[in-house]
Amino acid sequence: MPNAVGEIEAVRVDVASGVDGQLVPLPQGQWTLFDAVEATQVVAQLDSKPALAALEVSRQDIAKLQKDAEAEQSRLARDPAKPRDPAKLTDEKQRAAARTHWTVEQRRLGVLNRQAQLETDRIALEQLDVQFDSSKRAHARNALTDEQLHVARLERDLFAKRIEQNMLALADAESQHTSANSQLKEQPPLTDNDELRVLVPFRAAVAAQDARLRQLQVQLEALAIRAPITGTISAIHGWPGQLVRTGQPIITIAANHGQYIVSYVRQDQRLRPEVGSAVSVYLRGMHSQPVAATVERLGPQVLPIPQHQRRDPGIREWGLPVRITLPNGLNVRPGELVDLVFKT
């Protein structure tokens, strides 16, 4: 006779939005209840227009700062013998140090400009990836011709190649910035008050643009909402056109397979399971043969037993949680109850 009840592990994941935004339609159409999804597959998409607009504003601000840095460096190189204040900056070494500082800021802005361009391209490539994935599925259903699939793949690959080139340009810009920083270490400290009065707020403005760009990168990465696990859609909470907040669930995915069995051993039972103890598993509703399993882990505390595993659902019970291996080939679904016999 069974001396315990076990439950197949049932994983349900609420897939939520990482940022505020508006849901937009997917190329393949809206997901429906009980659709199968794969891990990392895009299950929802937020409107990219606000983030792209903010990114464009950031790019314009970076471009303006680049022009300001070029103008200041040109001033230093144009008339080294006549500084703005003859009583200041008489040492040519200070002027050379100031030029190097401005070179570093120029190189830093060049890196930011490349990063902003790369983020814009990545959003476009993300959309092309989703469209190509939809095209592959349509092609598998014979709803798309080979030529149409080839065009979709070619468009995606060409844009991916463009991103590769931009990444090489970004690496080159970062190398130039690193080299300028190395040259700056060889210069004496900048002590001229006139130059510091201009350089310090400019450097703060560049740092603000850097932080703003990193913030936008996080927002842009969260626009495509992907499935964290492979499974089946068990609930849909959001639809295209709906505004969602950060952390708001959009769909719920239920895993198709469990990984182990969870049971509870009551205190009044003459059972003291240990790791490695043998357990026989019986399927319910049929004359099944026992399937051998073993105890994998024991819980650290005695916990309330779930209602559907109690002897009497109306009476609360406590027990020690026990994790049991799920035998290979056992045809069970997540959440299904099985009968157990612990070998004593």
pLDDT at 81: 47
SS3 content of the chain, % helix, strand, coil (to 5): 45, 20, 35
- Spatial separation of the C-alpha atoms in residues 320 and 295, rounded to whole Å: 13
> Which 3 state secondary structure label does DSSP give 176?
helix
Average pLDDT, consecutive stretches of 10 residues, N- to C-terminus, the chain (344 residues): 89 94 87 92 92 91 92 76 49 81 92 92 84 82 85 87 90 93 87 84 94 91 92 95 94 94 91 92 84 94 93 92 92 93 85
- Spatial separation of the C-alpha atoms in residues 149 and 132, rounded to whole Å: 8
Closest CA to 322 of 281, 266, 283, 265: 265
- Spatial separation of the C-alpha atoms in residues 204 and 212, rounded to whole Å: 12
List the Cα angle 175/180/186 in 5-degree steps: 135
In the chain, what are the domains? Answer: 4-12+257-342 (2.40.30.170), 48-222 (no CATH)
Contact call for residues 159 and 149 (beta carbons, < 8 A): no
